[in-house]
Every structure is written in structure tokens, then in C-alpha cells.
Structure 1
Amino acid sequence: MSKVKEKLNKKSIVVIVVICVILLSLTIYLRYSYSVSNNFKSAIYPGVSIENIAMGGKTKEEAKNILVEKYDKPLEKGSIDIKVKEQVYSLPYADINIKYNIDEVINSAFEYGKDLNFYSQYKIIKKPKEMNYNLSLSYDKEVVQGFLENADKTLNKEIVDATIAKVGENFQVASEKVKEEIDITQAFEEITKKIENRETEVSLETTIKVTNPKIMADDLKKIDTVISSFSTKFNPNERSINIQIASKAASGVVVMPGDTYSFNELVGDTTPDKGYREAPVIVNNKLEPGYGGGVCQVSTTLHNAVVRAGIIPTERMHHSMPVSYVPKGMDAMISYNIVDYKFKNTLNFPIYIHSYVLNNELIFSIYSNSTLKNKTYDLVSDIYKEIPQNIKYIKDNKLKKGQEVVDNIGSNGYKVKVYLVTYENGESNKRLLYNDYYEPVDKIIKKNI
């Protein structure tokens, strides 16, 4: 029994020794692991990179110095330069507070693995995994937007039509002004892309959007000759003053292809403050005094010039009674806000309307391109029925016995066909334009029977 006990005691001693050795070794290993882990308490773990720059073993301050030197310092002298036409405008990076998120990324890199126990930390130190962190840029986009808007303000914002004026026998054309705008959206996108590509110098030539006015000088320069003309005569009196005022208002007008001309919109109301005088006008089939009497002769003369340019009016009405200054069916009455005279320029070129008064004669000329002169036009009226007027007597006891006074001269009635005749290459073509009817107006005679 003693021998058995002795053997057991020896085995126990061996086991205890082995356990002690293991515990001692484990203690030493753990203490070593802790020591290794503790060495990186203030440093970034191995295998960690920022922008592919190895930062293992670096403190936050050391990592920051490296990144600031490589990334932040080049931005200090950086700028955005844009060329607007021939002018260059600059915006320093400092003004948009552009910077990399260096501190944020360093903190992330530094914190990697720091939340693990010391043994797990020891393992990623001894067998590191590659970890890379990237920087990102931030900047004040509103400042960039404002920079582009301010540069845009230097461009011309006033849009002005080209103008044409007849000087003697020639024309003078003043150039148009176009509206210019920076394509701010496109420029902003290009700047953003360049900044995000980490360019320390952003340079670009802006795209200018141009808005042309409706009337361009090149179009007006195509006006080079008279393509039609028409004149009417008048007697020098109050009516002639109205004709001169209205014809001046209607002169010097450009009508572009496709545009519509309105006599009433251009000439306006015939009010005394504009200088118009009282003169006979047709009211209710009777001549009565009214401001602007004679203006219908202006619209009529214009009408005849326009039609002889090959342009057919879109709005035209004849008088209720025939007028003396043009053949029947060739007149065009107007009454402000009631009856207008309108036409649309159906030619391929702009037209210029010019009128003047000379020796009691009103002349309207239509100018356009000389290529239009291969065709000429004329108006022909055909009175195919005349209807005699009736005579009516009205008793007026204020008159002397047997005395007669014409209260309204009235007029005969007429049915008139008006043809547009086109001449081209020695041939002519006649087309019915209007079939006008002037109703007969009774002659009214006051008499004391």
C-alpha cells in the first residue's frame, strides 16, 4: 500500500508542476499580449491606411501632419477661375471654406479595433487586416452659386430689337442687343465635378446662353427697295391736319414675317390731346363733325399700298358710304375700339412702312427685299350694280315757307367686285378679293310745306 501511495504522490506532483508551468506561460503570454496592445493605445493599428498612406503606429497628430501637408496645404492657394467672354473672375478656395474631413477620418482610423479586448487587439496587431479610409471634401456651395450669379450680372441683360430708319433714299440699321446669360447650372456642375476630382485649380470657360430679340439687324438689312406704293389726294383744311398726324404715327413701322399689323394699336385713338381736329366723319350714314375726321383716308391709302405688295388684309371693312379719294371697293375704314384694319405679313421678308405728305397728297410706300419685285400687284374694281337713292322730305316749320335744306346728301347704293391682279413673267392673273355692297342712303331734305 505504501508503494501505491508513493506512486500517486509522484503523479500529483507532476500534474501540479505541469499546471503551474502552463499557468505561468499563459500569464507571461497574456502579459505580453497586453503589453503589445497597450503600446498602440495612442497609435493607429498596423494595416490601417488613409488615402492609401500607411498610418500604422502613427499617433493622431502624426497622421494629421502627414495629411495636412499633402491635402490641406495645396488648397490654401487654390481657386476657381471662370472666363466670361474675355473677362476672368476668381474665387479663392478660402472664400468657400473648402477643406478635407481630416480630423473625422483620422478619428475613424484611430478608433478601429479600440473597442475590442486586449487579446483581440493583440491579434489584429500581429496579423493586421488592410483597412483604408478615404477623405472627402466639403465647401460652401451657396458661395459658389453666388459667385456665378455675380459674374452673370456683368453680361448684358437688356434685349433690344434692331431698328431701321429711312434717311433720304437710304436706310440706316442699328444693331440689336442680345440678352446674355451664363449657363449657371452647367457651370456649377462642372465646378463641382472638378472639386470632387480634387483639382486644386479649377478653371473653365463658361457657356453663354444668348437670347436674340425678335428683330435682328441681318433681317432688316434685307430691306432694300420699294415693292409697292399708293397715294391719295386731299384738300387743305382741318381734315388734312388729322391726315398728317395719323400718317406720321403709321410711318417708320417694321412688320416681321408672320407678324400682324393693327392700325388701331399703332395709331391709337384720335383725341384732341394728340392734336387731332374736328372734321367730317361718317356716322350713321351721315357726315358729322368728329375728332379725327380724315384718318380713314390714312388707313385706306395704307390698305392700297399693302395689297399692292401682295399682302391680303385679315381685317378690313369698307365705309357705309362711298368715299371720294379711292375707287369704290378700295377703301378701308377704321373706328377706334370698334373697327380695325389688320394684316399679317405673309412675305418671307420683313416690310418697312413709310408714309409722307407732299402737296396735299398722302403717299404710302412698302419697302422690302428686291427679290419680291418679280411679281407686281394691282387692284381693279368693277361696279356691277348701282342702286339709286331715295329722296325723303321732312317737314320743318322753322324754315321759311317753301324753303328746302338738305339734311343728308346720302348716296346711291353700289355692288362692287374688287379683283387682285398679279403680274409675273409677262402674264397676269385676276383673283376676286372682295364683293362689297354699299347700301343706298336716302337723301333727306327738310322743307316747310
Structure 2
Amino acid sequence: MELRRESNVFKILAPVLIIVLLTLLGVVIGFVISRSDDNNRIMHHIYINDIRIGNMDKEQAKLVLSKKYDNNNDNFITIFFDNQKHDFKLADLGITYDLDHTINKALKEGQNQKGVFSKIFKFTYRFRKKVLPLSIRLDEKVFDKIVGELLSEINKEATEAKIEIINDELIIVNGKSGVGFSRDDIKKEVINAVINDIKSIKLFSKQLKPKEINVDELYEEFTGDPVDAHFEVKDNEAVLIAEKYGVTFDKEVARKIIEENREEGKRFTIPVTLIKPKRFQDEIKDYLFRDVLGEYSTGYQTSSVNRAINVELASSKLNGVVLGPGDEFSFNNVVGERSAKNGYKTAHVYIAGMIEDGIGGGICQVSSTLYNAVLKSNLEITERRNHQLIVGYVPLGQDATVSYGAIDFKFKNNTEYPIKIVTTNKNRVMHVKILGTKFENIDISIENKILSTTPYTTIEKLDPSLPAGVRKVTQKGANGYVVESYKIIKKDGKIIDRVYLGKSTYKPTNEYVSVGTNPTISIDPQNDGIDTQNNLVNEENNGQPVINEPAQDVQNSQQQAENPDLQNTQDIFFE
């Protein structure tokens, strides 16, 4: 009876005891887990090499680690190259400790787990040890320099294959192996030693093999199309470049020959096919600037001193300019800014349809003379614009205005050889000659057709400073025109082409006349510049230049024909 009663008591108390124990265990585990669930602390039993930083915050861990891993200390590593011992400061190798990265890495340990699994995972670190490597920084340039200097002393480097083409053979002398240490192997071993706090490592030399001959790389390096002898322009000088034979070979034949000749230091050949160029330097060396492609002259005998200075200064900038095949000439780039600083003077320019004084007057005569020489040379015009008003130094349709920073004159050397611009100024005549190389008897002429004429308007202004009845012309008038231009190309005297150059539109130039109204002033027959018979004062007789006819500006003739408004986009056009 007693045994049965005790058994019943145990049956009643046992579950109660189990529940109590489990509850206590849960409380303990919960407490421990809650202590482990601090993301600002490193988990228990985390080590960096042999230093425990578990349950520390960032500052505590850094303080502990810096006692051993301090970049300010002389930290060494010993490397045995076979039996040669070399000691290096880590700093000299470009290696520094990165404690911040090391600690951040330790803090992140276990953070990739989520929810309850994160708590359990962190809890397990109270019972197991985790060792993390030290983080470092490596300056590869410093490391490679120091190690490279050492290897140059202790290595017997491999000899690479020698390859050259002689006549119709690709001659190869195989390389030879050397003995020594690989820079990449040294780097790998040193990094591993430092992050694991190993102070000494031993490396063993090995065979250093030369680079294997790769047929595809061989083909890429040694084959190619033939290159004709030609001229290249460098620093405004035409340089003769020698011809080069083309080379090719059969890749499969080359692979077989290379495979059969693997012995180190062995000499063997691969047959190649040479491709002859079409043009040799001995043939073309006398072609350079052999011919006059085209030339043109304009006069400025009646120009003012300042205008003449501007013409001659701009002309000198053009003299000697050399363009290679395909090169484009820019007048503004070559001549530069027309400013007093650059030596240009004040002379007459066109401003909003009026003749006034401005810096650089006369420059457009230079660009227009060049334009005509370029036309005569049959070169490609890429940008040209006519003046707003006509000019007297070239025929209608054959002018080219420029304005620095706004309007340019450009052309391209579309020949196979360099060209040179040669300018001279003698007796107030500017001459432009373009030298180059031509092989056909080509003659160029320009044909201009006037499509319409717009008469100019005379504007009178009363002037009390002049005697009554006297009329003084202060600006001569000129008609406006629309002109179509063509380039006529003749070969051996026969027309072979008629090329449309474009349409040039010129506005009429108003004539301005001052009419005298003062009856108290008498006309002096001795006064220069006054026509006593017609009561006319001629400004030209007083030394003031006048225009013969008006002018405008042209960019590309075709573009201008499509967009006539383009002519009116600028106010200043130099004459």
C-alpha cells in the first residue's frame, strides 16, 4: 500500500518538476540570448588570430588590437628565398593594418541570420571559437617595385623567344627557361602570412618558363597589308614615310612547325608571303610640292597705310602653311584673332551695311584671294560665305568674308599629296600660290552669272556746314546682285565638268549725299575735292576710300542657297 502511495506521488510531482526545470532553463537561455543580441558588440569567442575580441564594442576591440597591430611600429616579415634570408618592414612593402575593416568584419559576423535563427546562431558562439583573419591594405605599386628590385638580383630570368622577318621567312629562336621566384607567388604568400600573423615564410625557387609562342598573337603582330610610301605632315613639315611590304602566312602550317620545334633555344623558320606595295619612296621623293596647283592675285594699291599693313600681316600668316592629305584648313585658326595686340590696325570695315572704321580692315581681301587660289587648285571648299556688300578686288561671286569667332573660310586637301600655301606681297599686289602634286593637265576657270540686280538708293541729308547748292557724296552707292557661280574644269583644253559653287546674294549699298544749305559760305575754286562746275564734293578726292560695288558673306554656297536668311546673321564683315 505504501509503495503504491509513493508511486502515485512521484507521478504527480515528476511533471511539475520537469515544467519547473524547463521554465528555469528557458529563463536562463532567454537571458543569455538577450545578452547576445547586441549588434554593437562583437559576439563571444571571436578572435583575430590569437587575440580575443568577443563581447567587445568597436572602441574596445580597436584598443586591444592596436597594442599588437600598430602601423606606427616597425613590423617585420622574414622571407627565405631558398637559403637567402631577407627581412622586410611591412611599411616598405606597402602593407598596412586595417583595424577598422577588421573590426567591422567581426561585428557583421552572424548578422546575415534573421529572426530567432539569428539569436540561436549568436548563442552558439558562447560555446565555440571563431578565428577571423586580420585585414590589411596593400599598395601594389610599392610592393611590385621592392620585390622587382630584389628579383632582378636573385632571379635568373627566362629568355623569351626572338622573332623577326628576314626576306620571306619568319625566323624564330625559342626562348630558354630560367630559375627563380614568381612575383605573384611572393605576393600571395606574404599577404597570407601577414593576415594570419605569421612572421616568417620560406619560398623555393622554381623553373621560370618563357612565354609560349601563340600563333594567333604571332599572326596579329607580324602580318598586315602593304603600306605605300607616303608623306605625313608633322609640325608643318612634310615627312617622307618609307613603303612597307605586306606579310601573311598560313596559321595551320605555322602551328605544325612550332609544335615540331619545341626545344629550348632552337632556331627554325616559318615561310611567309610578302605583298608588294604599289608606291615606293624612291618614286615619290621628288613629287613633294612639284607643281603649282593654282594661283591668284589681287591689288591693294589705293588702300590706306593701315589697311595695307593688315593685308600683309594676314598674308604672312598663310605663307608656308602645309596641309597633309585630308587635312582641313581654317583661316581663323591660322591667321588668329584680328586685334591691336596682334598687330592689326584700324581701317575701313563693313558694319551693318555701312563703311566704318574697325580693327582688321582688309583681312577679307586676304581670305578672298586665298579662296580664288583654292578654286583654281580644284581643292574641296568646306566653308565659305560672301560679303553682305560687294567688294572691288575680286569678281562678283568670288569673295570670301571672315569674322573671327563667327565666320570662317575653310577648305580641305583632297589630293593624295601634301600641299603648301605660298604668299607674296610686292608693289601692293598680294599673290597666293598653292603648291602640290598633280598628274593631269587640268585647267580651272570660274563662271559667274548675274541672276538679278537691285538698284541702290540715294539718301540726302541737309548740311548747314556746306555752301548752299553743294552736294557732298559721303558714301558712294552700289547696286545689289544675286550671282550664281560655277567652276569650269578643262582637261587638255576640253570641258570635262561644270561644278555649281553656289549662289551669292549682295545687298545694295545706299549712297549718302550731304546737301549744303548755308548761303553765307562761298565756293572756293582752289578747294581740293570740290567740283565747281557741278557743285559736287567728292570724298574720294579727299583721300577717303570708297567701294566700287557692294559685298556680303558666304558660308557654304549650297547652304546659303537653301537658307538666304543665313546671310543676315552677322553685323560685321571685314572688307
Q: TM-score, normalised on structure 2?
A: 0.42
Per-residue deviation, residues 247-302 of structure 1 (Å, max 9, x unmatched): 11112112222222111111111111221111111121122111111110110000
SS of residue matched to 1:370: coil
Q: 1:42 aligns to what? A: none
Aligned to 1:393: 460
* Secondary structure in 2 matching 1:431: strand
Could you report, residue by residue, the CA deviation over 1:309-368 in whole angstroms, capped at 9, with x for unpaired residues? 112422111111111111111111111111111112222332211111122111111111
- The alignment partner of 2:416 has SS state of coil
Verify the 8 A CA contact 2:179 2:207 in the aligned structure 1: no
Correspondence 1:370 to 2:438: yes
Instruction: Give the match for residue 416 of structure 2.
Output: 348
Consecutive unaligned residues of structure 1, counting only runs of 5 or more, are: 1-63, 66-74, 86-91, 105-134, 142-159, 166-171, 178-196, 204-215
1:408 to 470, 475, 492: 475
Q: 2:500 aligns with which of 418, 425, 432?
A: 432
CA distance in 1, matches of 2:327, 2:233: 16
Measured after TM superposition, the shift of residue 304 of structure 1 is 0.2
Shift in alpha-carbon separation, 1:343–1:162, aligned structure 2, 3 A: closer
2:378 alignment partner, SS class: coil
The residue number in structure 2 matching 1:382 is: 449
After TM superposition, give the deviation of residue 81 of structure 1 in Å.
7.4
Gaps of 5+ in 2: 1-81, 84-153, 165-176, 190-203, 211-230, 243-261, 268-280, 518-575
Q: CA deviation at 1:303?
A: 0.2
Q: 1:393 to 1:95 in 2, by over 3 A?
A: farther
**Corresponding residue number in structure 1 for 2:388:** 320
Distance 1:198 1:441, change over 3 A: same
1:249 aligned residue (317, 332, 336): 317
- Aligned equivalent of 2:201: none
* Shift in CA distance, 420/198, structure 1 to aligned 2, threshold 3 Å: closer
Distance (Å, rounded) in 2 between the aligned partners of 1:202 and 1:289: 82
Match of 2:360 in 1: 292
Matches within 5 A, 1:39-438: 80=159, 137=206, 162=233, 222-235=288-301, 237-372=305-440, 374-396=441-463, 401-428=468-495, 429-438=497-506
- Conserved in 1, the CA contact under 8 Å of 2:384 and 2:400? yes
Q: 1:37 is matched with which residue?
A: none
Matched AA of 1:265: N
Contact conserved, 1:163 with 1:176, CA < 8 A, in 2?
Answer: no
Give the residue type in structure 1 aligned to 2:444. Y
Judging changes above 3 Å, is the alpha-carbon distance between structure 1 residues 79 and 347 closer, same or farther for their aligned structure 2 residues?
Answer: closer
> Distance between the aligned counterparts of 1:231 and 1:174, measured in 2?
30
User: Which structure shows the higher helix fraction?
Assistant: 1
**How far, CA to CA, are the matches of 2:308 and 2:472 in structure 1?**
27
For residues 448 and 368 of structure 2, the distance between their equivalents in structure 1, rounded to whole angstroms, comes to 15
Percent same amino acid among aligned pairs? 30
SS of the residue corresponding to residue 287 of structure 1 reads strand
Conserved 8 A contact 2:400-2:409: yes
Give the Cα separation in 2 of the matches to 1:343 and 1:99: 56
Q: Work out the CA distance in 2 between the residues paired with 1:163 and 1:176.
A: 11
**Structure-2 residue corresponding to 1:153:** none
Aligned counterparts of 2:418 and 2:232: Cα–Cα separation in 1: 13
CA–CA distance in structure 2, aligned partners of residues 290 and 249 of structure 1: 20
Give the counterpart letter for 1:391 in structure 2.
T
Q: 2-side partners of 1:385 and 1:219: how far apart?
A: 51
2:410 and 2:327 mapped to 1: Cα distance?
10
SS of the equivalent of 1:348 reads coil
The structure-2 alpha-carbon separation of the partners of 1:96 and 1:221, relative to structure 1 and needing over 3 Å to count, comes to farther
C-alpha deviation, 1:232, in angstroms:
0.7
Deviation, structure 1 residue 164: 9.0
Q: State the shift of 1:439 in Å.
A: 1.6
Rounded to whole Å, the distance in 2 between the matches of 1:219 and 1:336 is 38
- In structure 2, relative to structure 1, the CA distance for the partners of 1:231 and 1:99 (3 Å cut) is closer
Choose 236-245 or 381-390, whichever is displaced more.
Answer: 381-390
Structure 2 counterpart of 1:252, which letter?
G
Cα shift at 1:445? 2.3
Q: Aligned residues, how many?
A: 285
Which of 362-371 and 404-413 deviates more? 404-413
Amino acid at match of 1:302: L
Structure 1 residue identity aligned to 2:459: K
2:350, 2:414 → 1: CA distance?
Answer: 32
Report what 2:68 is aligned to. Answer: none
**Which whole-Å CA distance do the structure 2 matches of 1:173 and 1:436 have between them?**
36
Deviation at 1:395, TM superposition (A): 4.0
Larger Rg belongs to: 1
Aligned to 2:549: none
Maintained 8 Å contact 1:163/1:220: no
Structure 2: distance between partners of 1:375 and 1:363: 21
Give the distance between the partners of 2:316 and 2:510, measured in 1 at CA: 36
Q: 1:386 to 1:78 in 2, by over 3 A?
A: closer
Report the secondary structure of 1:257's partner residue.
coil
Distance 1:440 1:98 in 2: 81
Looking at structure 2, the residues matched to 100 and 360 of structure 1 have their Cα atoms a distance apart, in angstroms, of 78
Give, as a single letter, the amino acid of the residue that structure 2 aligns with 1:277: K
- Matched to 2:448, the amino acid is S
CA drift at 1:226: 0.8
Summarize the Cα distance change of 1:245–1:202 in structure 2 as closer, same or farther, 3 Å threshold. Answer: farther
